[in-house]
Structure 1
Amino acid sequence: MESTVTKNSGAAAARRPGYGQLLRTPGALSFLIPGFAARQPFAMLTIGILLLVQHTSGSYGTAGAVAAVTGVAMALFAPQTGKLADRFGQRAVLLPGVLVHAASVAALIALALADAPLWALFAAAVPTGASVPQVGPMVRARWAAKLEGTPLAGTAAAFESVTDEFTFVVGPVLATTLCTVVHPAAGLATEAVLTVVGGLLFAAQKRTQPAHGLNSPHARVEHVSALSVPGVRVLAIAFLGIGSVFGGMQVSLTAFAEEIGNPGVNGVLYGVFAAGNMLAGIACGAIAWKSGPRRRLLLGYLGLTLAASLLWTAHAPVLLGALGLVVGLCMAPALITGYTLVESLVPASARTEAFTWLTGAVALGQAAAVTVAGRLADGYGSHAGFLVPLAGTALALATLLTLRSRLVPRTGGRTVARGVGHRVPVAVD
């Protein structure tokens, strides 16, 4: 029986449809295009805060602290946003959320430019982070609802990770360029505009949002929090390591560019890192994998840890760019496989919440990283800040190796619950 399941899974992987067929899915472009604009905050917000507050305060530590408060607020509130979306619908959550976010960003900009005390910046940073729209998880939930049980589901998971990484190519470069060429606050202001425009357009796509609340076929089943699933908790801890790479790279690259007297190179270096992430994501979606997602996740984190261990040794922009590219190439397999695993661990009624726990974990790891890396960069230079991604990924890898047995569906790895009374076979190793 097991060999039949494995053989069928391998055959399905070999027949995996391409991105072109995925994009021809009816209604897909209607939520993908506005969703791309609306997910820019995650890519632009931290770097925008870092550049603005560092400009007004002269301290990477202060800038990192404000960005960290934003990240912690995002991490704490993202899962609650997911729960509300599962219960009341994505539109009901997005409409007020994008307006609160834009107002909070405006307040943060005004306070920073007025040289307000740190506590005031913290006060504005909390609603700024708490109101970041969780569009990425919402898009994933729409794909999952539309493609559940079809060969396109795996392609959609890879496509979403590629899209996320593409925002990290565009967002930080755009924010850095605006902050250095136009005005220190221009990056954050653009982020707020994109949030409002993209978020409202995405919320308007009512026909493609998943069923929710009493409209859901799973409404008859008592809702269980996604965090009650052991595998989700393990993945959330592992995704803290992903966040440490994003946060540590953003602060340390910014400090490195200042040290060499070329602030503009920051956006280029971060763009190279994010481009490696995106290219690896495209490749992951095109490969018909023979190994299971759990094994790929462990190998992805092992490669990411090894690549991050070399960052602190780079003293020239070209070498740092090359190492950043390698780190980016190792990042995508870990991200994509993590999202693939979490979808198999939770029922559809908790899917948006599960995705937001991972997104929140990335934000929390990023918040801790920008704080620690900022202090290290202030005290010891940018190269000390690059030790933060190494520490974060090493701890994540150790967690995965220790708790890898929990990354198996409760049914023991033979089947995964796909809603109520419906199971499909999967391979987990």
Structure 2
Amino acid sequence: MASAVKDSRPGYGRLLRTPGAWTFLLPGFLARQPFAMLTIGIVLLVQSTTGSYGTAGAVSAATGVSMALFAPQSGKLADRFGQRAVLIPGVLVHVAGVCTLITLALAHAPLWALLAVAVPTGASTPQVGPMVRARWASRLGGSPLMPTAAAFESVTDEFTFVVGPVLATALCTGIHPAAGLVAEAVLTLAGGLLFASQKRSQPPVHTDASGGAPRVSALSVPGVRVLIVAFLGIGAVFGGMQVSLTAFTQHIGQPGINGVLYGIFAGGNMLAGIVCGAVAWKVGPRRRLLVAYGLLALATTPLWTLSAVPLLGAVGLVVGLCIAPALITGYTLVESLVPAAARTEAFTWLTGAVALGQAAAATSAGQLADRFGPSTGFLVPLAGTALAFVVLLALRAHLVPRPAAASAPAGSAAVTAAGPASEEREQDRGRELTNA
């Protein structure tokens, strides 16, 4: 089965015909929808009950930060004990947290009480996206379909973050302020338990006894730390664009066009993701990441100078087109840099980095817009991507798989590391691999 996949030409058709793929794709799609509904649902409910956007933002931020900080621990536990063992209790704790938060908000509880519940609610948010990526990596090994799988997951994430907030907003404004969070809890419970029930497709559990090697943390891999910096910069683009576009459209007296401009930006991201997954790349992932990230930093440069809506929309489209290649290639590199026993943890570190970068950028862009004008908020995506690109260039040697990766405590991990490593030996500096 594996050899058949390896010999296939990369493409979505081949990817979706991977045996057993649909058993985790459909439940995973359902289970990841709440991820994009949680923070907006909190904002709408808390603002409705308190009348304060500041209070709503504080509770939402506490949820988002705790989600980003605890996600890697969830991934580490999933690698060690299995996704099902972590997902089921996590789903139950999360649903209980959301229900408690709804009850407290409707009872007009003080801010400290809302924050106290927001932290465990965010920390227990099921990390379904990274778990799906780990299942792809376990199933495909070093197959050339891995970039296609990464692209497919990136497009799915983007689609989730388009549909989720719209659904939550419609429920909160059309039915009841708590309806968005109620739907989030129901989807989490149903989708999470259904996804957890797919035991045959989950990656194998790697114990210390499998090969006698000590357990490796994803954060101990230098390449993962470099990618975390890169994904913080990508998060800065998302957060900076959201806040700055809102401030800009309000300043020019056309707040209704904000959704159009952000939709163009998100649409570019989705379009580029679809194209990236359909291409059979001949260039190694490290080089693709450097080129894509450089273009992303360059694309964000003129944003703060623009005052015409058509130009801002056009440049926003270009920025969106540049994000997906960088994001997808970063996820693809994880498959070759990290041993199989730590991949879910690695994926959650990157997902958390995007969330942290987004939160920090939203705060910074908002302060700049308030103090110096709406267009200055666009400096945040530029600064975030420029700094991250410098780090990528300086530490690019860490993005080449080392021979040790091939000796991971699982047979599939050896296959995983071999394919991308040989590709990098041919296309990058061979001296960076000691056995080249």
Task: Please indicate the TM-score interval, normalised by the length of the shorter structure.
Answer: 0.7 to 0.9
1:267-303 Cα distance to aligned partner (Å, 9 max, x none): 4433332221111011111112222211211121222
Q: Which amino acid aligns with 2:293?
A: Y
CA distance, structure 1, for counterparts of residue 25 and residue 198 of structure 2: 10
Correspondent of 1:405 among 397, 407, 412: 397
Question: How far apart are residue 178 of structure 1 and its match?
Answer: 4.0
- Corresponding residue number in structure 1 for 2:78: 85
Alignment of 1:290 with 2:282, yes or no, is: yes
- Corresponding residue number in structure 2 for 1:70: 63
Correspondent of 1:201 among 184, 194, 197: 194
The verdict on how the C-alpha distance between 1:62 and 1:183 changes in structure 2, with shifts beyond 3 A counting, is: same
Alignment of 1:232 with 2:217, yes or no, is: no
CA distance, structure 1, for counterparts of residue 402 and residue 194 of structure 2: 38
Q: Which amino acid aligns with 2:76?
A: K
Query: Does structure 2 conserve the Cα–Cα contact (< 8 Å) formed by 1:45 and 1:191?
Result: yes
Q: Which amino acid aligns with 1:296?
A: R
- Corresponding residue number in structure 1 for 2:166: 173
1:171-320 equivalences under 5 Å are 171-214=164-207, 218=210, 220-256=212-248, 265-315=257-307, 318-320=310-312
Query: Does structure 1 conserve the Cα–Cα contact (< 8 Å) formed by 2:11 and 2:279?
Result: no
Q: Which amino acid aligns with 1:276?
A: G
The verdict on how the C-alpha distance between 1:232 and 1:126 changes in structure 2, with shifts beyond 3 A counting, is: same
Query: Does structure 1 conserve the Cα–Cα contact (< 8 Å) formed by 2:147 and 2:329?
Result: no
The verdict on how the C-alpha distance between 1:263 and 1:185 changes in structure 2, with shifts beyond 3 A counting, is: farther
The verdict on how the C-alpha distance between 1:374 and 1:177 changes in structure 2, with shifts beyond 3 A counting, is: farther
CA distance, structure 2, for counterparts of residue 327 and residue 376 of structure 1: 21
- Corresponding residue number in structure 2 for 1:388: 380
CA distance, structure 2, for counterparts of residue 315 and residue 48 of structure 1: 32
CA distance, structure 1, for counterparts of residue 280 and residue 356 of structure 2: 33
Helix, strand or coil: the match of 1:221? coil
- Corresponding residue number in structure 2 for 1:21: 14
Q: Which amino acid aligns with 1:170?
A: V
CA distance, structure 2, for counterparts of residue 272 and residue 278 of structure 1: 10
1:40-51 equivalences under 5 Å are 40-51=33-44
Query: Does structure 1 conserve the Cα–Cα contact (< 8 Å) formed by 2:63 and 2:123?
Result: yes
CA distance, structure 1, for counterparts of residue 43 and residue 375 of structure 2: 18
Query: Does structure 1 conserve the Cα–Cα contact (< 8 Å) formed by 2:41 and 2:181?
Result: yes
Question: How far apart are residue 163 of structure 1 and its match?
Answer: 1.6
1:124-139 equivalences under 5 Å are 124-139=117-132
Alignment of 1:361 with 2:353, yes or no, is: yes
- Corresponding residue number in structure 2 for 1:99: 92
Correspondent of 2:140 among 142, 147, 155: 147
Question: How far apart are residue 111 of structure 1 and its match?
Answer: 4.3
CA distance, structure 1, for counterparts of residue 177 and residue 312 of structure 2: 25
Percent identity of paired positions between Structure 1 and Structure 2 = 73
Alignment of 1:32 with 2:37, yes or no, is: no
- Corresponding residue number in structure 2 for 1:324: 316
The verdict on how the C-alpha distance between 1:44 and 1:301 changes in structure 2, with shifts beyond 3 A counting, is: farther
Query: Does structure 2 conserve the Cα–Cα contact (< 8 Å) formed by 1:61 and 1:374?
Result: no
CA distance, structure 1, for counterparts of residue 305 and residue 195 of structure 2: 43
Question: How far apart are residue 32 of structure 1 and its match?
Answer: 0.4
What's the C-alpha RMSD, in Å, of the aligned pairs?
Answer: 3.0
* TM-score of the superposed pair, with normalisation by structure 1: 0.86
Greater relative contact order (Cα < 8 A, sep 6+)? 1
The verdict on how the C-alpha distance between 1:114 and 1:249 changes in structure 2, with shifts beyond 3 A counting, is: farther
CA distance, structure 2, for counterparts of residue 380 and residue 187 of structure 1: 35
Helix, strand or coil: the match of 2:395? helix
Question: How far apart are residue 398 of structure 1 and its match?
Answer: 1.6
Q: Which amino acid aligns with 1:372?
A: S
Query: Does structure 1 conserve the Cα–Cα contact (< 8 Å) formed by 2:242 and 2:362?
Result: yes
CA distance, structure 2, for counterparts of residue 276 and residue 18 of structure 1: 20
Question: How far apart are residue 349 of structure 1 and its match?
Answer: 1.0
- Corresponding residue number in structure 2 for 1:375: 367
1:21-47 Cα distance to aligned partner (Å, 9 max, x none): 211222211110111121223333344
